[in-house]
Amino acid sequence: MDVPNAWLVRPREALYDLDNIQLGKLFPGDTSVEAVFELDYLTIDGHAREAATNAAPRGVQVQLATGDGHPIDDTQVVANLGYFQFRAKPGVFQFEIRPGRGRKIFKLDSAGNEGWESPTVEVAGSEITVTSFEGLTLYPRFSRLPGMETADVLEEEESEDSKSVFEGISNRSVLILSSLLLPLMVLLATGFCRSSSLRGKQKSQLG
C-alpha cells in the first residue's frame, strides 16, 4: 500500500488473498479486488548519541512506558547512526533506558523530543508526545556514568549467554555420564557381592 512511512497497516477485510491476486480467477461478476486496511501503529524512530563524543551508544536498550510506568514497547540502539524504532499509538509516553546493564553504564540526558538540541531531562523531563499521524523522530542524548567510560553494554550479556550455554552443556554431560555410570556401578557392586559370597562358601567347605 502507498501509505506514509510512519504507518503500520494490515488488511482487516478481504475476499481474496492479497498476497496472490489473480485477476483471471475472480468470482463471476467481480471486476476488481476490494480490501479494507486498518492502521495498527505509528512508528517512533530516532537517532541516539553520546553527549561527549556524538558516538552511537550501541546496544543500549530503551523503552516507552505509560505514565504509571508500564512498558508498551522496547528496542535496542544499533551502531549504524544510533538508530532505533518503536511502534506506538498517539499519546504521551516516558522515554527510558530499559532496566539492565544499560542503566549501569548510561544515564539519559535528554529524550530528544524537540529535535537535535532538545532540552535536558532536568528541564523538560523524559516525556515524549505523539500527536501526529506522521509519527515522530527523537534525538536522545546519553552520558556515561563515572567509571564507565570504556564499558561495553553488550560485553556482559555476551559473556553471560556463553556462560549459560556452557553450564547447560556441562549439566547435560553430567546427567548423561550419571545415567551411564550408575548401572555399571550397580553391576560391579553386584558382581563383587557374588564373588565375596562364593569365596565365603568355598572357605566354609574347606573348613
Segments forming the whole domain that contains residue 182: 154-207
Walking along the chain (207 residues) 10 residues at a time, the average pLDDT comes out as 89 84 83 88 97 95 94 96 96 96 96 94 95 94 96 73 52 56 56 52 51
Q: If you search the block for the grid coordinates 568355598, which residue do you land on? A: 202
Tell me what pLDDT residue 179 has.
59
Give the single-character DSSP code of 25.
Answer: G
pLDDT of residue 21: 81
Same-domain check for residues 161 and 192? yes
Identify the H or E element spanning 161.
helix 153-206
Type and span of the H or E element at 188: helix 153-206
85 and 99 part of one domain: yes
- CATH at residue 85: 2.60.40.10
Same domain, 51 and 134: yes
**Taking the model in full, what pTM does it have?**
0.69
pLDDT value at residue 126: 96
